[in-house]
């Protein structure tokens, strides 16, 4: 919520004001008249939360007293994302080692590639949980989940050992030896964190779930799809959340939690408790809620990005789209991964209400164009941090970069 009092005086000004300054006091140079009155519009109000405020009028001077509460922008969505070229990529392969509990050998677990991260704000810092590959696994390296922490969202200190990995447990048969891939993390309303991740045995990818109280120690919760769907290829689970300050909290709609998932079409699953999930299906077949489009950047496949963001107006899903070799967007390279936005009904998340025609992020930097897989910007981690949105993405399946947006 926000409350404010504004008084407008004629004056000459063209002044930039820093973000976070919520009271501006200017004395009038001459008495106010009717021509000097300015209506405070929503656009100006939204800029109170941007990096700067610029008052362009040459005839107005503003006295604003504004009291802001922390959750004042909970319904606001990200604006235009700008890649942080000065610092990108923010994370690359590392030299850390740990003893793999499956082989009992010391492994350089992130020596080959790091990419596709989840992101969470905790204790005033950004916690990045990312996919890391060694160079010895049979299936192009075994994947594990690493952790890095940043106080500014750009410069990260990584842990020396992974926090989630294959081991001798009930999940080993589906996790070895491709590993654990592509985490997405949200907060649970009851406390703690929920992760969706992909287990890969070298043949089938299976969407899985895990839980943590501190983002460091994780408890595996099994596959998301069970029974007759357990061995179906499944990936990329994006849970619907509501922003509460800097927390992204799983949101119940129609008394259920919801998840978008998939890497061909997008499908949906629901849960009462975030533990046991049930896919939307008819006659034993999953029901698609978002599909590829001929001639577009997402002509070959669509795949979930970060969580889906709920507000009273709509659910916004950032997603990844892959371009067809032929029959896709002719202005993009064959196989390019770009980022799109789709919108769903906030009262029924299965109902698609709109979709952007164009991508908002595409591979155009050297580290995005060339790597383990060329021409890839794969969005997966999103946080609201210090009044800005930070979108973390994998670049060419090799490194991690970030793009930053204000509030729309």
Span 387-404, mean pLDDT?
98
pLDDT value of position 109: 98
Q: What is the DSSP letter of 30?
A: S
Same domain, 123 and 247: yes
In this structure, the answer to whether residues 89 and 62 fall within a common structural domain is no
Entry pTM? 0.83
CA distance 147 to 248: 19
Residue where the block lists tokens 């604003």: 64
How do residues 361-378 score in pLDDT, each as one tens digit? Answer: 999 999 999 999 999 999
Residue 285 belongs to domain with CATH number: 2.115.10.20
Asked if 41 and 180 sit in the same domain, the reply is no
Shared domain check, 40 and 147: no
pLDDT in tens, 146-182: 999 999 999 999 999 999 999 999 999 999 999 999 9
The last residue of one of the domains, among 68, 95, 113, is 68
Q: Looking at 34-43, 94-103, 203-212, which range is the least confident one?
A: 34-43
Identify whether 77 is part of a domain. Answer: no
User: For residue 367, what is the enclosing H or E element?
Assistant: helix 366-369
Residue 43 belongs to what domain range? 2-68
Residue 255 backbone class (left: φ over 0; alpha: ψ -120 to 50; beta: rest): left
Does residue 74 belong to any structural domain of this protein?
Answer: no
Cβ–Cβ < 8 Å for 376, 394: yes
Tell me: do 177 and 250 sit in the same domain. Answer: yes
Count of domains in the chain?
Answer: 2
Tell whether 160 and 278 lie within a shared domain.
Answer: yes
- Residues 280 and 398 grouped into a single domain: yes
Q: Give φ, ψ of 284 to 5 degrees.
A: 80, 10
Q: By CB neighbour count within 10 A (0-12 exposed, 13-18 middle, 19+ buried), where does 22 fall?
A: middle
Secondary structure class of 272 (helix, strand, coil): coil
pLDDT in tens, 314-363: 999 999 999 999 999 999 999 999 999 999 999 999 999 999 999 999 99
Tell me, yes or no, whether 148 and 44 share the same domain: no
- pLDDT number for residue 408: 78
Same domain, 32 and 86: no
Q: Which of 26, 46, 68 is the last residue of a domain?
A: 68
Is 212 within the bounds of a domain?
A: yes
């Amino acid at each position: 919520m926000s409350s404010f009092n504004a008084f407008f005086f004629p004056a000459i000004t063209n002044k930039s004001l820093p973000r976070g300054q919520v009271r501006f006091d200017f004395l009038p140079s001459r008495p106010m008249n009717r021509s000097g009155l300015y209506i405070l519009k929503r656009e100006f109000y939204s800029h109170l939360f941007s990096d700067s405020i610029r008052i362009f009028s040459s005839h107005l001077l503003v006295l604003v007293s504004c009291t802001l509460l922390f959750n004042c922008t909970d319904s606001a969505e990200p604006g235009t994302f700008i890649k942080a070229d000065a610092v990108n990529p923010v994370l690359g392969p590392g030299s850390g080692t740990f003893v793999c509990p499956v082989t009992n050998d010391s492994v350089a677990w992130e020596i080959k590639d790091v990419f596709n991260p989840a992101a969470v704000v905790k204790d005033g810092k950004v916690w990045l949980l990312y996919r890391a590959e060694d160079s010895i696994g049979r299936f192009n390296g075994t994947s594990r989940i690493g952790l890095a922490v940043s106080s500014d969202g750009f410069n990260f200190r990584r842990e020396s050992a992974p926090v989630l990995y294959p081991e001798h447990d009930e999940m080993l048969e589906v996790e070895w030896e491709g590993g654990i891939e592509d985490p997405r993390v949200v907060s649970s309303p009851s406390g703690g964190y929920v992760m969706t991740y992909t287990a890969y045995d070298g043949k089938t990818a299976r969407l899985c779930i895990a839980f943590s109280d501190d983002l460091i120690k994780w408890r595996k919760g099994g596959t998301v799809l069970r029974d007759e769907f357990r061995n179906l290829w499944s990936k990329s689970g994006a849970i619907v959340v509501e922003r509460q300050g800097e927390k992204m909290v799983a949101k119940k709609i129609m008394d259920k939690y919801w998840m978008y998932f998939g890497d061909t079409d997008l499908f949906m699953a629901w849960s009462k408790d975030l533990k046991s999930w049930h896919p939307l299906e008819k006659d034993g077949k999953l029901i698609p809620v978002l599909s590829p489009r001929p001639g577009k950047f997402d002509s070959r496949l669509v795949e979930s990005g970060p969580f889906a963001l709920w507000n009273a107006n709509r659910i916004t899903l950032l997603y990844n789209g892959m371009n067809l070799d032929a029959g896709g967007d002719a202005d993009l390279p064959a196989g390019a991964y770009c980022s799109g936005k789709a919108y769903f009904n906030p009262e029924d998340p299965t109902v698609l209400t709109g979709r952007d025609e164009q991508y908002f992020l595409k591979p155009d930097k050297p580290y995005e164009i060339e790597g383990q897989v060329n021409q890839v910007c794969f969005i997966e981690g999103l946080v609201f941090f210090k009044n800005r949105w930070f979108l973390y993405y994998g670049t060419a399946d090799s490194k991690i970069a970030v793009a930053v947006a204000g509030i729309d």
